[in-house]
Amino acid sequence: MKSVTSGTPGKPRLTTSAMIASIAAEGQKTKPAPFGHALVELARSRPEVVGLTADLGKYTDLHIFAKQFPDRYYQMGMAEQLLYGAASGMAAEGFMPFATTYAVFASRRAYDFIHQTIAEEDRNVKIVCALPGLTSGYGPSHQAAEDLALFRAMPNMTVIDPCDAHEIEQIVPAIAAHHGPVYMRLLRGQVPLVLDEYNYQFSLGRASLIRDGQDVLIISSGIMTMRALEAAKELAGDSVDVAVLHVPTIKPLDHGAILREAAKPCRLVVVAENHTIIGGLGEAIAALLMRSGVHPAFRQIALPDEFLAAGALTTLHDRYGISTAEVTRQIKGWLR
């Protein structure tokens, strides 16, 4: 059954299956359009940076760049295969295209173009895509539950899943410093600000222990690191001590940090990702641990292998187990 309704009398019924909704919680600290502003900052000193989009400039925060550098902004129309083929051509001429659309269209519609014209040809194109995983309530057409699996499987592709505005600001110059194709999941609009409190520094290819703990190790990427940190605070109230290892670079994976943390004794290892349970961070880490002979108690928090429902994002995050409350509840259940 696909319908998402709240039948509880007296409880407000959420019906917004909006295409774009902020993932920020009510009252949460946010920053507007961190990608757009960071790209403008980068482009001031890097004249080879150009911006391309397929009719989603406003919805990928690229309009900020377009306003500042109108002659370096290329509107390619609603044609994603063209977008990435043309980005390859511009990169071949020495430019560094940041080419944006929604994650579903890059990963599902333009996959072969990215595979052949960007990854195989090793073009310096940055593929930056909004609505990753389950960040739209609009239904499967706009829910890129499998984007990480698809791009992980592509040779020569660096894959990044940022947590918040603070991290996105650091990722933009970091991926520009890296020559080669990059797929970056984008959080756009009012983006939560979380990691600034932890004195966090992004480093390409590096996982980062955001907090330490004795009982549970959550290994997470993207917005699930935000959820993991919130869950850790709640679990602390129940005397459960939770460590959070943030893995923003899905590929190449930071084997050293993951093995080091997962090998510490007597901790439940939980991998949490805003992605289908198939082929994402969880399975990548499971395989790494198996190959390396590290065998902790292991659980996954991820989206189910099914077409997800339309509905309000908060409802859907609860339903599919990736809200803070559901992360907390599941971990408690596993510790019982």
Partner 1 sequence: MFTSSLVNAPSLSQRARNIRRNALRMGEVQGQGYIAQALDISDVLAVAYFHAMRYRPEEPTWEDRDRFLLSNGHYAIALYAALIEAGIIPEVELETYGFDESRLPMSGMTSYTPGMEMSGGSLGLGLSIAVGMGLGLKRKGSKSRVFTLFSDGELDEGSKWEAMMSAAHHKLDNLIAIIDVNNQQADGPSKQMMGFEPLVDKLEAFGWFVRRVDGNDLDAVVAAFDATISHPEPQPRIIIADTLMGKGVPFLEQREKNHFIRVEAHEWKLALAELDAGDRS
- What residues between 39 and 58 interact with partner 1 by CB under 8 A? 50
Write down the residue that tokens 């349970």 correspond to.
277
Paired with 219 in beta bridges are 245, 271
CB atoms within 10 A of CB 288: 16
**What minimum distance in Å lies between the beta carbon of 19 and partner 1?**
23
Reading the block at residue 80, the tokens are 């994603």
**Residue 89 contacts partner 1 per CB under 8 A:** yes
Question: What is the Cα–Cα distance from 263 to 274, expressed in whole angstroms?
Answer: 24
Phi, psi of 174 (to 5 degrees): -70, -40
Binder among 40, 91, 172, 194 for partner 1 (CB under 8 A): 91
CB atoms within 10 A of CB 120: 14
Residue environment code for 201-214, b if the CB has 16+ CB neighbours within 10 A, otherwise e? ebebeebbbbbebe
Using the contact rule CB under 8 A, the part of the chain among 35-43, 75-83, 200-208, 247-255 near partner 1 is 75-83
E strands, 77-181, are 96-102, 126-130, 158-160
Question: In whole angstroms, what separates CA 39 from the centre of its chain?
Answer: 18
Between 117 and 249, whose beta carbon lies closer to partner 1? 117
Cβ(18)–Cβ(59) under 8 Å?
A: no
Paired with 52 in beta bridges are 74, 99
Using the contact rule CB under 8 A, the part of the chain among 37-45, 83-91, 159-167, 201-209 near partner 1 is 83-91
Using the contact rule CB under 8 A, the part of the chain among 25-33, 62-70, 84-92, 253-261 near partner 1 is 84-92
- What residues between 106 and 135 interact with partner 1 by CB under 8 A? 112-113, 116-117, 120-122
**What minimum distance in Å lies between the beta carbon of 35 and partner 1?**
22
**Residue 82 contacts partner 1 per CB under 8 A:** yes
Question: What is the Cα–Cα distance from 163 to 248, expressed in whole angstroms?
Answer: 7
By CB under 8 A, the count of residues binding partner 1 is: 27
**Residue 203 contacts partner 1 per CB under 8 A:** no
Write down the residue that tokens 């609505």 correspond to.
131
DSSP for 260-285 reads HHHTSTT-EEEEEEEEESSSSHHHHH
**Residue 290 contacts partner 1 per CB under 8 A:** no
**What minimum distance in Å lies between the beta carbon of 89 and partner 1?**
2
**Residue 74 contacts partner 1 per CB under 8 A:** yes
**Residue 194 contacts partner 1 per CB under 8 A:** no
Paired with 61 in beta bridges are none
CA-wise closest residue to 206 among 251, 163, 273: 251
Binder among 87, 103, 284, 303 for partner 1 (CB under 8 A): 87
**What minimum distance in Å lies between the beta carbon of 78 and partner 1?**
9
**What minimum distance in Å lies between the beta carbon of 123 and partner 1?**
9
Paired with 274 in beta bridges are none
**Residue 79 contacts partner 1 per CB under 8 A:** yes
**Residue 20 contacts partner 1 per CB under 8 A:** no
Task: Taking each helix axis as running N to C, give the angle between helix 34-45 and helix 165-177, from 0 to 180 degrees, rounded to the nearest 10.
Answer: 30
Binder among 15, 22, 81, 190 for partner 1 (CB under 8 A): 81
Between 41 and 120, whose beta carbon lies closer to partner 1? 120
**Residue 252 contacts partner 1 per CB under 8 A:** no
Site for partner 1, rule CB under 8 A: 50, 74, 76-77, 79, 81-82, 84-95, 97, 112-113, 116-117, 120-122
